[in-house]
């Protein structure tokens, strides 16, 4: 796998990159992170219909036959105490 393309859009008007991962399958749920993906470009707003966002693989892994998860996750905001 060289890259992934996801249909996405943002609601808030900000364009914080979304983290992408390829994860193993753990009983029908995402498991271990096998590879990290980097977002290329920005996420278009939903008010314009959203669009396709490309991710490139930044860490390598050889995927054999089986089920895998493509996970896109917003970065967690830092909280001050």
> Which is it for strands 19-26 and 3-8: parallel, antiparallel or unpaired?
unpaired
Cross-strand bridge partners of residue 36: 21
Q: What is the pLDDT of residue 65?
A: 87
Q: Is the dihedral of CA 7, 12, 13, 19 positive or negative?
A: negative
What pLDDT sits at residue 77? 65
Joined together, the tokens standing for residue 79 give: 């909280």
The pLDDT, as a whole number, for residue 48 is 85
| Tens-digit pLDDT string for the chain (81 aa) | 778 899 988 887 667 788 899 999 999 999 999 888 989 988 888 888 888 999 998 766 778 888 999 999 887 666 655
Q: Is the dihedral of CA 33, 36, 39, 40 positive or negative?
A: negative
Planar angle of CA 44, 47, 49, nearest 5 degrees: 65
């Amino acid at each position: 796998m060289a890259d992934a393309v996801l249909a996405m859009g943002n609601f808030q008007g900000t364009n914080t990159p979304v983290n992408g991962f390829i994860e193993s399958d753990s009983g029908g749920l995402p498991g271990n992170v096998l590879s990290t993906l980097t977002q290329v470009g920005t996420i278009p707003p939903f008010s314009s219909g959203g669009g396709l966002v490309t991710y490139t693989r930044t860490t390598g892994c050889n995927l054999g036959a089986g089920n895998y998860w493509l996970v896109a996750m917003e970065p967690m905001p830092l909280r001050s105490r």
